[in-house]
A and B are shown apart, each in its own frame.
Chain A
């Protein structure tokens, strides 16, 4: 039996789909328990997320954020580095965006400011990942511990910056002033309006296209460059890679900084694209959910886009659910997301042995009948 290989589609498509279905099945039981028909709940969520253009807008807007944070986790993971710090890297990147937008937004035209905003969001995110990476590479401080701690340091730093430095006088909320028009990333509905396509306003902005560009970049980088090869080799077996001449310090720092940069791009979508000002805790857990997205997407850009769409659907559909069933605690959505993360992340390989066995049995049967 062992001469048959398990084809890729079983691992990369069938098992994730089965996991999601299983999660939905358990969620359905939860819905039954609280007296909501799971079918109508699903219909409301589907309709809310994909049924009309504004819903699509929100779904893709959330998905954009997840693509960035998901890619960030994936790149580091190829070097066997578990970057838990996406939350903090994205948060600090918001500072880079705010500083550039507020200082140069009134001085330079959009065509110059927006590229600078993109560069600085990436730069701030990458630099926040640099110190943990350096400590891991040079001192052996575990990356999981240091990146988690850097989330807290980042939160304190941002709290200080927002309250003491960026908050306009007489304002009560810990948030920066609004950014000048030139520094904002245009919304998709604004871009399409002059072309005669009318869409309901939604936060979906051009960062979505940039996120797709980043997916292509990650694919090219990880699978088609020498550096990507080094990262993967190092991730597969650090000792062998070192023996083969891979510089461990360089690979660790490079993988983490690219990871931090991608997490930093999250600020483009949320801060420059939607909020138009820097707010306290604006990342709101998207950095952590990125870990689940990367796990589900098997650290591959295509998988990450699919997983991001699923989470975008859950976020947007979930908000609609809270609307349609006002009596229901809106935390039910958190339960739903938790179940998906549980089945697709933590219990990722639960079904694997059974599915593989079934597949092999089916193949063997086919061969017998052929004979």
Chain B
């Protein structure tokens, strides 16, 4: 009798759960431990995804910021228990949590950025960072007078080497003699928030003759941009459009539209067109790009603009194949 009652109760609960799910569209996002105001990756999702979605669709996206390691999985599960769907997890650190929780809630939709989780209810969104980096690499080589350009990475992980490798290919595509200096800030997550060391690395590269530096280093990049301004060199921003940070010495920014990716996922789900699986955000679908606005229009000559647009078209058409570091774990030119 007790068992029967339990089954009935469980059925009733799952029934109400499906009913409420069908009635309500409840998108959610879970940031990583850096928090939504990290001036970089998470903030791009917050500003271009969450806020934009509220403006356009009038739907408030449920947000959660975990405070410690245990809360990452817990937070994801709590969002799922409340019937939120789709839930977008920001960053590769969520891989194991998404894998566990998505299995527990097969009826809900999940998405993870920068990582692949192979489950029937998970959308894995990865970016073709190598293509975007290639484009800014071309611009860097064109703007450089010394023929030497620099790259400052955050944490030394395959993802950042992918940026570096694409950048180097781009620079050498325009100028096969170009010299590229690449440095990583560190090997742990603190490398994402060390502007002092970023400035040191940039200055070291300037002293070796580099005059354009591309930073793919989260908050560490702020130090790189400052160093470029102090020495009247050029810097290239990353992820969001960072041209406004040091107007006049920011050549451009490599855009990785994480906010749009999250936005699209919610939009698709709302329209009932959401699909699980592997989703690549690349140059062709506007997932990666280079930035031109009022802050850097004086630095980008007509010739540079024409060239990079040509390269962009060639990447889209497949005429230029940019090697992806992560496909072989090595940088092949």
Contact = CB atoms under 8 A, between A and B. Distances in A.
Contact of B71 (A159, A285, A319): A319
Interface residues of A, number: 35
B6 to A, nearest CB: 8
Interface in A262-284: 270, 274-275, 277, 279-282, 284
Given A170-B329, A172-B157, A326-B62, A333 B67 contact: yes
Interface residues of B, number: 26
A341 to B, nearest CB: 16
Give the interface centre of A281, A284, A319 by most chain B CB atoms within 10 Å.
Answer: A319
B74 A322 contact: no
Contact of B78 (A159, A201, A279, A323): A323
A345 B71 CA distance: 26
A265 B207 CA distance: 50
B70 interface: yes
B158 interface: yes
Contact of A172 (B65, B67, B74, B158): B158
A61 B70 contact: yes
Interface string A311-322: 000010011001
Contacts of B65: 322, 330
Contacts of A61: 70
B322 to A, nearest CB: 20
A303 interface: no
A159 B188 contact: yes
A174 B187 contact: yes
B174 interface: no
Interface in A113-172: 159-160, 162-164, 169-170, 172
A322 B78 CA distance: 11
A282 B188 contact: no
Contacts of B329: 169-170
A280 B158 contact: no
Interface in B147-189: 155-159, 187-189
B267 interface: no
A170 B187 contact: no
A58 interface: yes
Given A172-B157, A173-B93, A319 B187 contact: no
Contacts of A174: 155, 187-189
Contact of B74 (A58, A173, A334): A58
Given A172-B158, A280-B189, A319 B67 contact: yes
A280 B70 contact: no
A163 B71 contact: no
Contacts, number: 64
A323 B64 contact: yes
Contact of B188 (A275, A280, A285): A280
B152 to A, nearest CB: 18
Nearest to A160: B187
Contacts of B155: 174
Given A169-B329, A172-B157, A279 B188 contact: no
Contact of B187 (A58, A163, A274, A281): A163
A330 B64 CA distance: 9
B92 interface: yes
A275 B187 CA distance: 21
Interface in A248-302: 270, 274-275, 277, 279-282, 284-285
Which of A170, A174, A285, A318 is the most central at the interface, judged by chain B CB atoms within 10 Å of its CB?
A174
B46 to A, nearest CB: 13
A143 B190 CA distance: 27
A284 B159 CA distance: 25
A203 interface: yes
A276 to B, nearest CB: 9
A304 B65 CA distance: 29
A322 B64 CA distance: 7
Given A280-B188, A319-B74, A323-B78, A275 B69 contact: yes
B75 interface: yes
Nearest to A202: B74
A173 B92 contact: yes
A270 B293 CA distance: 48
A160 to B, nearest CB: 8
B63 interface: yes
Given A58-B74, A326-B62, A330-B67, A170 B158 contact: yes
A159 B92 contact: no
Complex A-B, nearest 5 residue pairs according to Cβ-Cβ distance, in ascending order: A163-B187, A172-B157, A284-B68, A159-B188, A330-B65
27 contacts: A159-B188, A162-B188, A170-B158, A170-B329, A172-B92, A172-B157, A173-B93, A174-B155, A174-B188, A174-B189, A275-B69, A277-B96, A279-B69, A281-B69, A281-B189, A282-B69, A284-B69, A315-B68, A318-B67, A322-B64, A322-B67, A326-B62, A326-B63, A326-B64, A330-B65, A330-B67, A334-B67
Given A58-B74, A282-B69, A323-B78, 17 more contacts: A159-B188, A162-B188, A163-B187, A172-B159, A173-B93, A173-B157, A203-B70, A203-B74, A280-B189, A281-B69, A285-B68, A319-B67, A319-B74, A323-B64, A326-B63, A330-B67, A333-B67
